[in-house]
Amino acid sequence: MASYGGVLRRSAAVVERARDGARRTRKALARFARPQSFAAPPDAEAAAVRAVRNLRSFRLHYAILLWVLLLASLFPRRRATMLFLMASSKIALFCGALLKAVPNSALLCRIVDRRLAAALVLAVIGVELVVTRAVPQFLLAMAIGVPLVLLHAVFRVRDDLTASGQEAASAGGGELGPIFEKKEDLELGSQ
């Protein structure tokens, strides 16, 4: 009976971690395309800084967008290639989830390296696209997706510089801005 308590506490921690991850994902999706978070950069240096920061922050969102565009470009004529890509993405997600679920496992980290698994999946996908002659669809998807990603990365403003964040910072003497931003994030998450 005592061992069940240890297992329950451990599983409760895993459930809590999953809940926190889902909450962060929902908050990131709400922030991803908020209309008031877009503005033209003042100069080229600011645009470059924004692009690098946003590419780092939203890399998963950008990857999903490019992946969906690739699958959509393959759909009408290359269904077998599309199904293969979907299966390989499931394998890659499974490897990533396994490494994230058990981060302290020395044996698992030795067997499956995240970068090695990603490089292997990308190599298999590249070979499969070449073999099935789907490279033109890949290039079309990237020609549409990469400019969209770059536009979003350049014009997306940091959340603490949006109008509501600036008003909250000026109204609170500058120190209450993060508190109001957290309150706004909580309100967005409850919707």
**pLDDT tens string 52-89:** 999 988 888 898 899 899 988 888 788 888 888 888 88
SS3 label, residue 124? helix
Q: Is-contact 99 112, C-beta < 8 A?
A: yes
Helix pair angle (135-155, 114-131), 10° resolution:
130
Number of alpha carbons in the 13 Å side-chain half-sphere of residue 85: 25
Number of alpha carbons in the 13 Å side-chain half-sphere of residue 168: 17
Q: What is the mean pLDDT of residues 171-184?
A: 47
pLDDT tens per residue, range 143-170: 999 999 999 999 888 765 544 444 444 4
pLDDT tens per residue, range 114-127: 778 778 888 988 99
Q: What is the pTM of this model?
A: 0.62
Q: Alpha carbon of 144 to those of 41, 78, 84, 149, 150: distances in Å? A: 22, 19, 22, 9, 11
Read off the pLDDT band of 3 (50, 70, 90): low
The answer on pLDDT for 35 being more than 70 is: yes
